[in-house]
Chains A and B, each alone.
Chain A
Amino acid sequence: MPAETLRRLWPLAALLIALVAIALVASLAPIVIQRRVVEALIYLIAVVALYIFAGNSGVLSFGNVSFMAVGAYVSALLTLKPAAKAVFLPGLPAFLKAAEWPTVPAALAGGIVAALFGLFVGVPLMRLSGIAASIATFAVLSITYVVLGNWTSVTGGQNSLFGLPLYADLSTVLPWALVAVAAAFAYQETRSGLMLRASREDEVAAEASGIDVHRQRLYAFVLSAFFSGIAGVLYGHFLGVLRVESFYLDMTFLVVAMLVVGGMRSLLGAVTGALVISLITELLRQLESGVPVGGITVAAPPGLGDAVLALAMLLIILVRPQGIAAGRELGWPFGARAQGRPVSSDRISGGEAK
């Protein structure tokens, strides 16, 4: 392979290698740790999905968790045992009642329905920019939450949906994580991705150069919705139980915070953010459940972990307002030109508030 191609693919290759390495190490660990890693990888897919839209367009979306919800419920309805559905969801349409799909097609269906939903809301919403767009996606989140929470015949409403096949483990989640990261990288290298990134830096100039910002945003939004849907599917089959509550403000906060803490302007940032926050969460969880010090076990009071997590996020943001990765991708480590993508940024296009 010519060195130039290798160099160009390196930011992707390095991330994929890192993820495989993490999974390999985890596969040797006890099952409890393995589940934590699986959970982290699912969050990673959700964050990368959000990054595909928010990172490239510069418009923060609070609506992606609603795509996760849609994906999760679609896959759940397609894979639950018909007998279970007859008990929990007697009002279900006949074709859903009888459905018992294999897991992979059901997961794809979840992603595709989420993407279609993204297309449906994206057509009007992508005309908006900045805060208006963020608020509108937030409105989508709230609407989805209210509708799913009250559409009792299909989602079970406020009741939990039990008995999803628990297939999400390392061997199923890792491939999806790799696909999501590769797709995000491929997208940002395409013409469409580059045009969208141009519009992120200067929307007016991009429009003036003939870029159809609405259309490019829509492409990214649909792709983003697809992978959010997949993350939702996996989350459902990881927990085995679906609650509408799980796909609302807390999840949105966590996913958005992971992206911003990592650095929302690069794929490296998205991946780093998801992994770092997951790691901190896990360490705090360990601390809460007790750490042996000398002969005694010292446990932090329950609930302390959450407070410390919020504090840690705040500290990271204070120290690195651009996020951990600060907009850079991984540079080629061997030989000359070992530089990341140049940091584009608001240093040039400072707003009024600066």
Chain B
Amino acid sequence: MINLAQHVVDTISVGGLYALTALGIGLIFGVMRLINFAHGELITAVGYALLLFHGWPLPLAMLGALLIAVVLALVMERVAFRPLRGADPETLLIASFAVSFFLQKLLALTVGARAKGIDFLPSLGEPIAVVGIRLQVLQLATILVVAGLLAGLSWFLGRTRAGLEMRAAAENFRMARLLGVRADRVIAVAFALSGVLAAAVAFLFVAQSGTLTPRMSLQLVVIAFVGTAIGGLGSLVGAAVGGFLVGAASVILQAVLPFELREFREAFAFGLVILVLLVRPQGLFPARGLKERV
């Protein structure tokens, strides 16, 4: 029983991290049909920013890192993606690949490709026991942060004007524009938000791993990208659930697979991905705006 509870905590904390990453990607896809691979570089940038601001008071360092993510997201949008608005999804995807690749190589060039250690929030690594379950403070923090951000995001999307505009844009961009939604602003807000989400993921991820490399967020983004597709591209609930499920699936497979098959864990996870797609090609929560009209 306790063992099970422990697995549940593991699953939720890992899945939550992927869910946040997937949300960052899903937000952008909703408003401009761009699968932003460079989202990972936002996460990486926050990690290195924390290293840069080492020695500052913690809240200030975190705020600075968050600002860097938001500014980088906005610059990315302005320089690379705005000129391509309306291009095919393939072109957009490759553009984001190129941005991601560029930032990665730039980072490798300036700070070096080798891993750097970082001691961020070490107190979170301590174990505590809650009703007999041993867990790390970090896992609790992850779950709290994820829950808080999800609640905040749904408040923003449901209760504010900007959120309403964003949902409208995700559903039908052209119609939203005709009704007075400013395209540039709604897209910029989406990118800024994805920067905030990236920062949150980076704080948790860096605290957990304690190392930085230019490619550290690759795995996160790849899984989140797959999760967004499973959940239903264009649907924010779908992105969160899909990201969570893929992350959770890998933790669960790790626990239930017989030992000699564990190294093939990801193959099983991706096999499940294919199965889900075959059964529900539009994802688990199909976005209405994407449905083909004939």
Q: Spell out A's residues near B (CB within 8 Å).
A: 60, 124-125, 127-132, 135-136, 138-140, 142-143, 146-147, 150, 204, 249, 253, 256-257, 260-261, 264, 301, 303-304, 306-307, 309-311, 313-314, 317-318, 321-323, 346, 350-354
B175: shortest Cβ distance to chain A, in Å? 9
- Cβ contact of A136, chosen from B84, B174, B218, B274, cutoff 8 A: B274
State A135–B294 Cα separation when bound (angstroms).
24
**B94 CB-CB contact with A under 8 Å:** yes
Question: Contact partner of A131 among B89, B102, B174, B222, CB < 8 A?
Answer: B89
Q: Which of A125, A127, A204, A352 contacts B294 (CB 8 A)?
A: A204
Contact B263 A310 (CB under 8 A): no
> Apart from A260-B91, A306-B105, what are 16 other A-B pairs with CB-CB below 8 Å?
A127-B278, A127-B281, A139-B270, A139-B274, A140-B274, A142-B266, A143-B270, A204-B292, A260-B90, A301-B109, A307-B105, A317-B84, A321-B84, A353-B32, A353-B85, A353-B173
Interface: B151 (CB within 8 A): no
- Decide if B264 touches A147 in the complex (CB within 8 Å): yes
B211 lies within 8 A of chain A by Cβ? no
How many Å lie between the Cα of A354 and that of B84 in the bound state? Answer: 10
Q: Which of A204, A304, A313, A350 contacts B98 (CB 8 A)?
A: A313
Contact A310/B105 with A142-B270, A261-B94 known, Cβ cut-off 8 Å: yes
Whether A124 and B281, one on each chain, are in contact in the complex, defined by CB atoms closer than 8 angstroms, is: no
| B105 A314 Cβ-Cβ under 8 A | no
Contacts of A139 on B, CB cut-off 8 Å? Answer: 226, 270-271, 273-274, 277
Contact A146 B273 (CB under 8 A): no
Give the secondary structure class of B's interface: helix
B80: chain A residues within 8 A (beta carbon): 314, 318
Residue of B nearest to A317 (CB): B95
Contact with A along B62-98 (1 / 0, CB 8 A): 0000000000000000001001111111110111011
Instruction: Name the distance in Å between B280's Cβ and chain A's nearest Cβ.
Output: 9
Check if B99 is an interface residue, CB within 8 A of chain A.
yes
Whether B267 pairs with A147 at a CB distance below 8 angstroms is yes
Given contacts A249-B218, A307-B105, A318-B80, contact A136 B94 (CB under 8 A): no
- Of the candidates B86, B94, B230, B271, the one whose C-beta lies within 8 Å of that of A353 is B86
A13: min CB distance to chain B, Å: 29
B residues near A124, Cβ cutoff 8 Å = 274, 278
Which B residues are CB-close (under 8 A) to A136?
273-274, 277-278
Closest to B175 in A: A352
Q: Which residue on B lies nearest to A125, using beta carbons?
A: B274
Q: Give, as a whole number of angstroms, the nearest-CB distance from A18 to chain B.
A: 24
Q: Are A128 and B109 CB-contacts (below 8 A) given A142-B267, A146-B264?
A: no
Is A131 within 8 A of B109, CB to CB?
A: no
Which chain B residues border A306 with CB–CB below 8 Å? 101, 105, 108
A277 to chain B, nearest CB (A): 11
A310–B101 CA distance with the chains assembled, in angstroms: 6
Contacts of B106 in A (CB 8 A): 307
**With a CB–CB cut-off of 8 A, which chain A residues contact B294?**
204
- Check: B33 CB closer than 8 A to any chain A CB: yes
Chain B nearest CB: distance from A273 CB in Å? 11
Chain A residues whose CB sits within 8 angstroms of the CB of B163 once the complex forms? none
> CB distance A256 to B94 under 8 Å?
yes
Q: Please, which residues of chain A bring their CB within 8 A of the CB of B88?
A: 321, 346
Q: Contact between B174 and A257 (Cβ–Cβ < 8 Å)? A: no
- The answer, yes or no, to whether B22 is at the interface (CB within 8 Å) is no
Residue of B nearest to A150 (CB): B263
Q: Does B172 contact A (CB under 8 A)?
A: yes
CB neighbours (8 Å) of A311 from chain B are: 98, 102
Given contacts A132-B281, A142-B270, A352-B173, whether A150 and B264 have CB atoms under 8 Å apart is: yes
Q: Chain A residue with minimal CB distance to B88? A: A346
Contact of B267 with A143 in the complex, beta carbons under 8 Å: yes
Residue of B nearest to A350 (CB): B86
* 27 pairs, A vs B, C-beta closer than 8 Å: A125-B278, A127-B278, A132-B229, A135-B229, A138-B226, A140-B274, A142-B266, A143-B271, A146-B270, A150-B263, A253-B101, A256-B97, A303-B108, A303-B109, A309-B101, A310-B98, A310-B101, A311-B98, A314-B80, A314-B95, A314-B98, A317-B94, A321-B91, A322-B91, A350-B86, A352-B33, A352-B172
CA distance A301 to B113 in the complex (A): 13
Query: Is B94's CB under 8 angstroms from A313's CB?
Result: yes
Cα distance A351–B29 in the bound complex, in angstroms: 14
A62's closest neighbor in chain B, by CB? B93
Tell me, yes or no, whether B289 is within 8 Å of chain A by CB: yes
